[in-house]
Amino acid sequence: MQVCEHVLAACFLQDLDDVDILFEGGEAPILDGSAGPYLRAIRHAGIAGEPRPHGLRLSITWQRHTVSWPGDTQPERARTFIDLSDGAQLLSSGLFRGARPDCALVFDSTGSSRYGARPRFPKEPAWHKLLDLMGDLGPYRAQGRLEGDLHVKNPAHQSNGVSIQSALADGRLRWQRDAKASTLTHRS
């Protein structure tokens, strides 16, 4: 599936490790550009077990902004952001079906958000980079509960996997294999 990081981030934020979610068309809908709608849908569907506090501390530094995740759901609200020229190219490639101007921060060549939506809160693009890191951690989380510290400078989907694997190799991240997390169940 393409563009699934918001779904994976929502599962990560709820500490889910056993989930089946089906999408038609091979792409998760952009919705409001954040993981928030997915997080609310997961909560509405129902969760078996009790989510536990994460033993994981995440932080990123991106464009001189550092943001840290203490284990809450704040990053869920951070929306996608793109450069105006990249946005036109992505839309013409068929991605982001159903996208609306308010589902992304679209920056012009000066770095101003003059198109689409305005930031919801300070450092929203940096928070979205952290949210994307959570989504990129999803496949690793599915192998077991993670604990430790991970700081990534200039995160990007292409390099996050390398940063995660490096942190696992040197012990900054570890699996807690004996701890069972929550699973998603459907309530009628």
pLDDT in tens, 10-54: 998 888 878 888 877 777 888 888 999 999 999 898 888 776 667
Strand partners, 65: 62
- Asked if residue 187 has pLDDT above 70, the reply is no
**Residue 162: predicted pLDDT:** 96
* Cα–Cα distance for residue pair 126/69, rounded to 1 Å: 12
pLDDT at site 53: 66
Which is more confident, 96 or 20? Answer: 20
The span from the CA of 130 to the CA of 61, in Å, is: 9
Q: Residue 169: CB partners within 8 Å, gap ≥ 6?
A: none
Question: What pLDDT, on a 0 to 100 scale, did the predictor assign at position 106?
Answer: 77
Dist. CA 155–CA 134, nearest whole Å: 11
Domains of the chain, by residue range, sit at: 5-184
Give pLDDT, residue 35.
94
| CATH classification code of 5-184 | 3.30.1700.10
